[in-house]
Amino acid sequence: MYNKLNFSIICSICVLAIASIVFINSNNTENEKTIQTSIDSNFNSTSSLNKLMEGNKKYVDATYNASIIDAKARESLLKNGQKPFAIVLTCSDSRVVPENIFYTGLGDIFVIRVAGNVVDESVIGSIEFGVDSLKIPLILVLGHEDCGAVYNSKSTDIKGSLGKLLNKIAPSYEKAKALGGSESEIIQRATDFNVENSMNIISENKVVKKYINGGVVDVIGGNYSLETGIVRLLN
Protein backbone atom coordinates (compact mmCIF):
# COMPACT_ATOMS: atom_id res chain seq x y z
CA MET A 1 0.00 0.00 0.00
CA TYR A 2 2.85 2.34 0.93
CA ASN A 3 4.70 1.56 -2.30
CA LYS A 4 1.57 2.11 -4.40
CA LEU A 5 1.01 5.50 -2.72
CA ASN A 6 4.60 6.56 -3.41
CA PHE A 7 4.28 5.40 -7.02
CA SER A 8 1.09 7.45 -7.47
CA ILE A 9 2.72 10.55 -5.98
CA ILE A 10 5.78 10.17 -8.21
CA CYS A 11 3.59 9.73 -11.30
CA SER A 12 1.60 12.85 -10.41
CA ILE A 13 4.79 14.89 -9.96
CA CYS A 14 6.12 13.71 -13.33
CA VAL A 15 2.88 14.63 -15.09
CA LEU A 16 2.89 18.11 -13.51
CA ALA A 17 6.55 18.63 -14.47
CA ILE A 18 5.95 17.64 -18.09
CA ALA A 19 2.87 19.86 -18.27
CA SER A 20 4.87 22.81 -16.90
CA ILE A 21 7.61 22.33 -19.48
CA VAL A 22 5.09 22.14 -22.32
CA PHE A 23 3.32 25.27 -21.04
CA ILE A 24 6.58 27.24 -20.74
CA ASN A 25 7.79 26.17 -24.18
CA SER A 26 4.40 27.02 -25.67
CA ASN A 27 4.50 30.49 -24.15
CA ASN A 28 8.07 31.05 -25.31
CA THR A 29 7.21 29.97 -28.85
CA GLU A 30 4.17 32.24 -28.90
CA ASN A 31 6.19 35.17 -27.56
CA GLU A 32 8.73 34.66 -30.33
CA LYS A 33 5.94 34.86 -32.91
CA THR A 34 4.16 37.84 -31.43
CA ILE A 35 4.97 41.42 -32.39
CA GLN A 36 3.93 44.03 -29.86
CA THR A 37 2.20 47.10 -31.22
CA SER A 38 4.52 50.10 -31.26
CA ILE A 39 2.23 52.58 -29.50
CA ASP A 40 4.80 53.29 -26.76
CA SER A 41 7.95 52.81 -28.83
CA ASN A 42 10.34 55.40 -30.21
CA PHE A 43 11.73 54.69 -33.66
CA ASN A 44 14.08 56.35 -36.10
CA SER A 45 14.42 55.45 -39.78
CA THR A 46 17.14 52.85 -39.11
CA SER A 47 15.33 51.01 -36.32
CA SER A 48 12.09 51.19 -38.32
CA LEU A 49 13.73 49.56 -41.33
CA ASN A 50 15.31 46.90 -39.11
CA LYS A 51 11.91 46.11 -37.60
CA LEU A 52 10.34 45.78 -41.04
CA MET A 53 13.04 43.45 -42.32
CA GLU A 54 13.04 41.35 -39.14
CA GLY A 55 9.30 40.98 -39.57
CA ASN A 56 9.76 39.96 -43.20
CA LYS A 57 12.19 37.22 -42.15
CA LYS A 58 9.56 35.83 -39.76
CA TYR A 59 6.87 36.06 -42.45
CA VAL A 60 8.87 34.03 -44.98
CA ASP A 61 8.74 30.96 -42.73
CA ALA A 62 5.42 31.67 -41.01
CA THR A 63 2.12 29.86 -41.46
CA TYR A 64 0.06 32.59 -39.81
CA ASN A 65 0.47 36.05 -38.29
CA ALA A 66 0.43 35.87 -34.49
CA SER A 67 0.56 39.63 -33.93
CA ILE A 68 -1.67 41.13 -31.26
CA ILE A 69 -5.09 42.15 -32.58
CA ASP A 70 -7.19 41.60 -29.46
CA ALA A 71 -9.72 43.90 -27.80
CA LYS A 72 -7.15 45.25 -25.35
CA ALA A 73 -4.86 46.35 -28.19
CA ARG A 74 -7.76 47.98 -30.04
CA GLU A 75 -8.86 49.79 -26.89
CA SER A 76 -5.32 51.02 -26.22
CA LEU A 77 -4.92 52.35 -29.75
CA LEU A 78 -8.28 54.11 -29.56
CA LYS A 79 -7.47 55.65 -26.19
CA ASN A 80 -3.81 56.53 -26.77
CA GLY A 81 -3.81 57.09 -30.53
CA GLN A 82 -1.65 55.53 -33.19
CA LYS A 83 2.12 55.77 -33.50
CA PRO A 84 3.14 53.66 -36.50
CA PHE A 85 6.86 53.27 -37.13
CA ALA A 86 6.75 53.20 -40.95
CA ILE A 87 4.70 54.34 -43.93
CA VAL A 88 4.34 51.68 -46.61
CA LEU A 89 3.15 52.75 -50.06
CA THR A 90 2.43 49.65 -52.11
CA CYS A 91 0.19 48.17 -54.78
CA SER A 92 -3.46 47.31 -54.28
CA ASP A 93 -2.79 43.77 -55.55
CA SER A 94 -4.60 41.36 -53.20
CA ARG A 95 -1.49 39.18 -52.96
CA VAL A 96 0.52 42.01 -51.43
CA VAL A 97 -0.49 42.55 -47.80
CA PRO A 98 2.07 44.70 -45.95
CA GLU A 99 0.74 43.88 -42.46
CA ASN A 100 1.53 40.22 -43.15
CA ILE A 101 4.66 40.71 -45.27
CA PHE A 102 6.27 42.58 -42.38
CA TYR A 103 4.56 40.49 -39.69
CA THR A 104 3.03 43.47 -37.93
CA GLY A 105 -0.03 44.08 -35.78
CA LEU A 106 -2.51 46.87 -35.20
CA GLY A 107 -1.03 50.36 -35.08
CA ASP A 108 2.38 49.32 -36.43
CA ILE A 109 2.47 50.53 -40.04
CA PHE A 110 0.67 53.28 -41.95
CA VAL A 111 -0.34 51.64 -45.22
CA ILE A 112 -1.26 53.38 -48.47
CA ARG A 113 -2.32 51.14 -51.35
CA VAL A 114 -2.89 52.06 -54.98
CA ALA A 115 -2.42 50.09 -58.21
CA GLY A 116 1.21 50.29 -59.28
CA ASN A 117 2.19 52.13 -56.06
CA VAL A 118 2.01 55.39 -58.00
CA VAL A 119 1.90 58.82 -56.40
CA ASP A 120 -0.96 61.27 -56.86
CA GLU A 121 -2.35 64.10 -54.71
CA SER A 122 -4.28 61.82 -52.37
CA VAL A 123 -1.25 59.58 -51.86
CA ILE A 124 1.13 62.46 -51.20
CA GLY A 125 -1.43 64.04 -48.86
CA SER A 126 -1.59 60.82 -46.86
CA ILE A 127 2.22 60.72 -46.68
CA GLU A 128 2.34 64.35 -45.54
CA PHE A 129 -0.07 63.46 -42.73
CA GLY A 130 2.09 60.49 -41.76
CA VAL A 131 5.35 62.41 -41.47
CA ASP A 132 3.99 65.74 -40.24
CA SER A 133 1.23 64.70 -37.83
CA LEU A 134 2.22 61.16 -36.84
CA LYS A 135 5.99 61.82 -37.00
CA ILE A 136 6.71 58.58 -38.88
CA PRO A 137 10.44 58.36 -39.65
CA LEU A 138 10.44 55.92 -42.56
CA ILE A 139 8.66 55.82 -45.94
CA LEU A 140 8.92 52.55 -47.88
CA VAL A 141 7.73 52.35 -51.49
CA LEU A 142 7.13 48.67 -52.17
CA GLY A 143 6.76 47.28 -55.68
CA HIS A 144 6.19 43.62 -56.35
CA GLU A 145 6.75 40.74 -58.74
CA ASP A 146 4.12 40.18 -61.47
CA CYS A 147 2.57 43.64 -61.10
CA GLY A 148 -0.33 43.96 -63.54
CA ALA A 149 -0.14 47.74 -63.54
CA VAL A 150 3.52 47.69 -64.60
CA TYR A 151 2.87 45.03 -67.24
CA ASN A 152 -0.06 46.91 -68.75
CA SER A 153 1.74 50.24 -68.75
CA LYS A 154 3.15 49.29 -72.16
CA SER A 155 -0.36 49.41 -73.63
CA THR A 156 -1.68 52.57 -75.28
CA ASP A 157 -5.19 51.20 -75.73
CA ILE A 158 -6.39 51.62 -72.13
CA LYS A 159 -8.33 54.82 -71.59
CA GLY A 160 -10.14 56.55 -68.75
CA SER A 161 -8.89 56.78 -65.20
CA LEU A 162 -6.98 53.50 -65.46
CA GLY A 163 -5.21 54.80 -68.55
CA LYS A 164 -4.14 57.92 -66.65
CA LEU A 165 -2.77 55.76 -63.84
CA LEU A 166 -0.83 53.57 -66.28
CA ASN A 167 0.59 56.68 -67.94
CA LYS A 168 2.40 57.40 -64.68
CA ILE A 169 4.19 54.05 -65.00
CA ALA A 170 4.80 54.06 -68.77
CA PRO A 171 8.06 56.09 -68.63
CA SER A 172 9.55 53.47 -66.29
CA TYR A 173 8.60 50.71 -68.72
CA GLU A 174 10.08 52.58 -71.70
CA LYS A 175 13.29 53.23 -69.75
CA ALA A 176 13.57 49.53 -68.92
CA LYS A 177 12.75 48.49 -72.49
CA ALA A 178 15.53 50.72 -73.85
CA LEU A 179 18.05 48.65 -71.90
CA GLY A 180 17.03 45.49 -73.76
CA GLY A 181 16.65 41.98 -72.43
CA SER A 182 13.77 39.52 -72.20
CA GLU A 183 10.23 40.60 -71.43
CA SER A 184 10.52 39.35 -67.85
CA GLU A 185 13.78 41.28 -67.40
CA ILE A 186 12.18 44.42 -68.78
CA ILE A 187 9.20 44.10 -66.42
CA GLN A 188 11.51 43.49 -63.45
CA ARG A 189 13.56 46.59 -64.22
CA ALA A 190 10.42 48.62 -64.95
CA THR A 191 9.04 47.63 -61.55
CA ASP A 192 12.17 48.91 -59.84
CA PHE A 193 12.27 52.07 -61.96
CA ASN A 194 8.63 52.73 -61.09
CA VAL A 195 9.42 52.40 -57.38
CA GLU A 196 12.34 54.81 -57.79
CA ASN A 197 10.09 57.28 -59.62
CA SER A 198 7.58 57.25 -56.76
CA MET A 199 10.43 57.67 -54.28
CA ASN A 200 11.69 60.72 -56.19
CA ILE A 201 8.26 62.35 -56.28
CA ILE A 202 7.81 61.78 -52.55
CA SER A 203 11.30 63.04 -51.73
CA GLU A 204 10.70 66.27 -53.65
CA ASN A 205 7.47 67.03 -51.83
CA LYS A 206 7.88 70.23 -49.81
CA VAL A 207 6.64 68.80 -46.53
CA VAL A 208 8.53 65.52 -46.79
CA LYS A 209 11.70 67.22 -48.01
CA LYS A 210 11.77 69.36 -44.87
CA TYR A 211 11.94 66.25 -42.71
CA ILE A 212 14.46 64.55 -44.98
CA ASN A 213 16.75 67.56 -44.81
CA GLY A 214 16.29 67.58 -41.05
CA GLY A 215 17.57 64.02 -40.89
CA VAL A 216 14.43 62.59 -39.32
CA VAL A 217 12.80 60.90 -42.34
CA ASP A 218 14.18 58.48 -44.95
CA VAL A 219 12.57 57.31 -48.17
CA ILE A 220 13.54 53.83 -49.36
CA GLY A 221 12.37 51.39 -52.02
CA GLY A 222 11.81 47.67 -52.13
CA ASN A 223 10.47 44.86 -54.26
CA TYR A 224 8.37 41.99 -52.91
CA SER A 225 8.66 38.49 -54.35
CA LEU A 226 5.30 36.75 -54.57
CA GLU A 227 7.08 33.41 -54.86
CA THR A 228 9.49 33.60 -51.92
CA GLY A 229 7.85 36.25 -49.73
CA ILE A 230 11.17 38.08 -49.46
CA VAL A 231 11.42 41.86 -49.68
CA ARG A 232 14.48 43.00 -51.64
CA LEU A 233 15.59 46.52 -50.82
CA LEU A 234 16.68 48.71 -53.73
CA ASN A 235 20.18 50.14 -53.71
Mean pLDDT of 37-57: 84
What's the CATH architecture for 43-233? 3-Layer(aba) Sandwich (3.40)
Tell me what pLDDT residue 66 has: 86
pLDDT for residue 229 is more than 70: yes
pLDDT for residue 113 is more than 50: yes
This prediction has a pTM of 0.82
pLDDT for residue 22 is more than 90: no
Tell me what pLDDT residue 7 has: 45
| 35: CB partners within 8 A, 6+ apart | 55, 66, 67, 68, 103, 104, 105, 108
Query: Tens digit of pLDDT for each residue in 156-181?
Result: 889 999 999 999 999 999 999 999 99
The C-alpha torsion from 35 through 132 and 221 to 168, rounded to 10°, is: 130
Mean pLDDT of 56-79: 92
Tell me what pLDDT residue 152 has: 96
Indicate the DSSP class of residue 232. Answer: E
Domain boundaries, the chain: 43-233
Model confidence band, residue 67 (pLDDT cutoffs 50, 70, 90) = confident
Comparing 140 with 2, which gets the higher pLDDT?
Answer: 140
Provide the 3-class DSSP secondary structure of residue 223.
Answer: strand
Tell me the sheet residues that pair with 112: 89
Tell me the average pLDDT of the chain.
Answer: 87
Closest by Cα among 160, 161, 174 to 120: 161
pLDDT for residue 33 is more than 80: no
Query: Tens digit of pLDDT for each residue in 96-111?
Result: 999 999 999 999 999 9
Indicate the DSSP class of residue 116. Answer: G
Distance CA 195, CA 54 (A): 22
